Structure 1
Amino acid sequence: MTPTPRRVVIVGNGMAGARLAEEIRHRDPDGSRFAVTIVGEEPHAAYNRVLLSTVVAGKITPRETRLKPEGWWAARHIEVVTGARVSAVDLEARTATLTGTVSPADDRLLEWDELVLATGSTSFIPPIEGVDRDGLDASGPDGVVAFRTVDECQRIVELAGSATHAVVLGGGLLGLEAARGLLGQGVDVTIVHPMGFPMERQMDADGGAVLARVVRELGAKLVLGRFVAARRSADAEGPARVVLDDGSELPADLVVISTGVRPRVDLGQSLGLEVNRGIVVDDRLATSAPHVHAIGECSEHRGEVPGLVQPGWDQARVLADVLTGADPAATYTGTSVLTRLKAHDIDLASMGSITVDVHDPEHEVLSFTDPSRGRYAKLVLHADRLVGAILLGVGDAAGALTQLYDSGSAVPRDRLALMLGRAVTRSSAPESANLAEMPGSTVICRCNTVTKSAIVGAFRAGAGSVPAVAEATRATTGCGSCKGAVEGLCSWLRSSEPSTSPAAHTSSDTDSTATSAPAPAAALATALTEGAA
């Protein structure tokens, strides 16, 4: 008699929830052991939130942000319910009540053996006179839109088509990405940020000052140390505008709000789970209720609430091991996060401990400042290991330094060469024609921890194009910055192994490196240093 599959219901169709379903299927390909259902409130297939600023810039369509092609989930026996929310959960009966957000026809009852909360986070809307915090949605009433979902980004693009002046509230990572996208649409942009410099969580004061200069030189106005107190619609006194806390006014027929997020914990609270800032989980991603788990931005692990994609993906991998028994002893102990600003013309990466004082006796702090060229670098070393870095406008060194940070390898003695990336670039991205010298352990795609060996293995197994490599390894499916490196590696493999190369027998209309790219080794070296961060 065939055993009944255990039912896993994942609440949340974001990047963490979708990744968990995928990880479970990697461990149970035919679905014979686990029946997986994902429930998402948005009426869309799972999409890559990292790419939303690219949508605002008009470079890709919302459809191009989808994590998987049409039919991918169904082909892998994963049920996806969109346009529905979990309105109630019975922990004793192990049922979840679904309420359709688009149609009452989507109302239903789901039974589960394991429940996973991956509800993510929601935009924080500060108190602003004239802005309905509860009623604000993707419709963008009166030209005010949050910057969080694909619908909101689509609305921003629509409004930008007729807008003259846009004000972006928030100079953090997403705020700067939104501002850069709007500049690309030809809109006059002012960023209002309450702190003394932008991206204060990823920058120090010196680096923040250089970043502010870079942002201004790109054409954006930057108002620091202020916040928006009120929004005024066009009236007899003037056009649409915002009023700052000092009483000054800025024209604003489009207002984009990017002032942080808050974990969505309402479902966890209704179940009586332990909740602080997020839903509290242990090292096995278990909540305070049996058979209920939480991952991603709604969770809180060891006092930390993840605000980026990578921790959610790492948690999904661990939880899949635990639930399927692939590794019953698997634990999540945290993620070493690297933040990269994904905005055209701004090359910024920040990682690890960056607030260490230059006189700290336990650390060695190196810094380089070149404001006129928009460059700033700060390296924090401990026991000859790179434990933190801010890298702005130093693309030639960023890739190599990121490799050092990831690997925990000892840094070279020549600190100046280290700052410039010269001491490590040769081993990380060789300029010789023989890329076989590159260690197989070199991480090409940091978002998904995909190494050179994994890509070579996938290529030799038949993945002859970048999309095929992405399907086999997930490389390029995160922030996308490693695409050039993957293209370069595939190009090298085609030229070095022509008889076994899948591309020797088939062509790909999505990979042009075989005919128009520079020498494969040079292309990969350039891509690694520009994209690895």
Structure 2
Amino acid sequence: MTSDARVVVIGAGLAGVTLARRLGELGTPALVVGEEEHRPYNRVLLAEVLAGRYAPEVITLPAPPALVRARVVGIDRAAREVRCADGSAIGYGTLVLATGSNPVLPPLRGLFRAGHELPAGVHAFRTMDDCLRLSAALRPGARAVVVGGGLLGVSAARALAERGAQVVLAQQAERLMERQLDPGASRLVLRHLRGLGVEVHTECRVRDVRCVGGAVRSVELADGYALDADLVVLACGVRPRTGLAEDAGLTVREGVVVDGALRTSDPHIRAVGDCAEHAGTVYGLAAPALEQVAALAGLLTGTAASPYTGTRSLTRLTLHGPDSPLDLAAFGETDVRPGDDVVQLADATRGTYRRVVVRGDRLVGGVLVGELGTVGALARAWEGAEPLPTDGGPLLHLLTPDGGS
């Protein structure tokens, strides 16, 4: 295949590898360029590797037929080439950016040494290398501080506790997973973590990392309180990886701006996944990335012409523990506006919680914790955006399989 017709994908994560596989199935081979030395893997499952539940090879993805290990350092749009760190160049007809995202490293005093390296014992938690380094450093009884109480921070804290660490989680917001969960669901997550022995501090800002001999020894909070630490895990969110796009002069806001054809401001360059911004939204989740991949594969091969119109994404998470796991699901809008109706069912004994928000005659969002048998029906009612029956009975059946009896 000549470079004029070739599809080149930068990024060997879930989005890039899945796109290459779909294109191949549809008769359009693609070349994937990935910089990690590991086989492509599902990043969503890294916490399970850290917990020791899965071996690294369990979360690997089927490798694309054509995969080049290289770090791309530039895009020459005029020549339609990508330039690699080893001096090589790869021509493309269509270029797809699936570069993912980078971890957010907070501006803490003492965080970086010369050369912008993290001190010994301080770890980001984004890649397989991050996971393996952290796992190798972990010892039973080690004092670990997790900075950040979002989805990633909660997953990391749970995994470290399962490995026998003494874990403290420091969350700046007033509750855990505040972007996905309402206060009631957050309380159940808090109870679950405390049941694993995790010490949780909310409304708590970390300001300093204290090191001795280049290795972390403690973390200082804004109120001056110090937490002893052998390990620090930075789980402060992610930021779209847009450097290549910016250097190439593409339109970038929070992410690389794309239209319904996943096309950037250069008609020969598309973008999908964590790095892409569509209609003002960067999703940063697996489900929207896979929907974008499916749409782009159809558009590039001519097998489907439907544009990507956005994703109504559902977040699911399972927190394992010594007894039973805690299953979580959240979708849509969970904040209540004036005039909204709220239906809530909670069972403290069974540790279950269900809360949905109805606006007018539409289901606009919900949070479920424990026993997620109803989540599929609720999500379908939400995704379909169909009017709900006025008597409320079917909604109760969606919340409780036995209809509340």
Tell me, yes or no, whether TM beats 0.5. Answer: yes
Q: Which residue of 1 aligns with 2:121?
A: 143
Q: Distance in 2 between matches of 1:288 and 1:246?
A: 47
The reply to whether residue 18 of structure 1 matches residue 12 of structure 2 is: no
Within the candidate set 309, 312, 331, 2:307 is matched to 331
Q: Which residue of 1 aligns with 2:88?
A: 108
CA deviations on 1:5-45 (whole Å, 9 max, x unpaired) are 820111111111111111211211xxxxx441111111122
- Call closer, same or farther: CA 1:404–1:276 in 2, change over 3 Å: same
Q: CA deviation at 1:347?
A: 1.2
Q: Which residue of 1 aligns with 2:247?
A: 270
Q: Give the greater-gyration-radius structure (CA).
A: 1
**Secondary structure in 2 matching 1:142:** coil
Q: Which residue of 2 aligns with 1:342?
A: 318
Indicate conservation of the 8 Å contact 2:102/2:126, yes or no: yes
Q: Which residue of 1 aligns with 2:191?
A: 213
CA deviations on 1:379-438 (whole Å, 9 max, x unpaired) are 1234655331100124343344345445556566155444323249xxxxxxxxxxxxxx
Structural RMSD (CA):
2.5
Q: Distance in 2 between matches of 1:141 and 1:337?
A: 37
* Number of residue pairs matched by the alignment: 396
Q: Distance in 1 between matches of 2:2 and 2:264?
A: 27
Indicate conservation of the 8 Å contact 1:233/1:240, yes or no: yes
Kindly indicate which of the two structures has a greater share of residues assigned to helix.
Answer: 1
- Call closer, same or farther: CA 1:52–1:386 in 2, change over 3 Å: same
The reply to whether residue 365 of structure 1 matches residue 345 of structure 2 is: no
**Secondary structure in 2 matching 1:318:** helix
Q: Distance in 2 between matches of 1:257 and 1:136?
A: 15
Within a 5 Å distance, the mapping from 1:411-422 to structure 2 comes to 413=393, 415-422=395-402
Q: Distance in 1 between matches of 2:298 and 2:346?
A: 45
Q: Distance in 1 between matches of 2:345 and 2:371?
A: 10
**Which has the higher relative contact order, 1 or 2, with Cα contacts under 8 A spaced 6 or more apart?**
2
Indicate conservation of the 8 Å contact 2:113/2:119, yes or no: no
Q: Distance in 2 between matches of 1:300 and 1:276?
A: 8
Q: Distance in 2 between matches of 1:272 and 1:311?
A: 25
Indicate conservation of the 8 Å contact 2:4/2:93, yes or no: no
| Runs of at least 5 residues in structure 1 that lack an aligned partner in the other structure | 29-33, 101-106, 425-533
**Secondary structure in 1 matching 2:318:** strand
- Call closer, same or farther: CA 1:5–1:94 in 2, change over 3 Å: closer
**Secondary structure in 2 matching 1:306:** coil
Indicate conservation of the 8 Å contact 1:126/1:133, yes or no: no
Q: Which residue of 1 aligns with 2:298?
A: 321
Within a 5 Å distance, the mapping from 1:424-443 to structure 2 comes to none
Q: Distance in 2 between matches of 1:313 and 1:285?
A: 13
Q: CA deviation at 1:47?
A: 0.6
Q: Distance in 1 between matches of 2:114 and 2:363?
A: 44
Normalised to the residue count of structure 1, the TM-score between the two structures is: 0.70
Letter in 2 for 1:348: L
Within the candidate set 76, 82, 93, 2:79 is matched to 93
The reply to whether residue 355 of structure 1 matches residue 335 of structure 2 is: yes
- Call closer, same or farther: CA 1:133–1:261 in 2, change over 3 Å: farther
The reply to whether residue 261 of structure 1 matches residue 238 of structure 2 is: yes
Within a 5 Å distance, the mapping from 1:296-307 to structure 2 comes to 296-307=273-284
Indicate conservation of the 8 Å contact 1:401/1:421, yes or no: no
The reply to whether residue 204 of structure 1 matches residue 190 of structure 2 is: no
Within the candidate set 43, 50, 60, 1:56 is matched to 50
Q: Which residue of 2 aligns with 1:390?
A: 367
Q: Distance in 1 between matches of 2:244 and 2:168?
A: 37
Q: CA deviation at 1:158?
A: 1.1
Identical-pair percentage: 40
- Call closer, same or farther: CA 1:297–1:321 in 2, change over 3 Å: same
Indicate conservation of the 8 Å contact 1:96/1:111, yes or no: yes
Kindly indicate which of the two structures has a greater share of residues assigned to strand.
Answer: 2
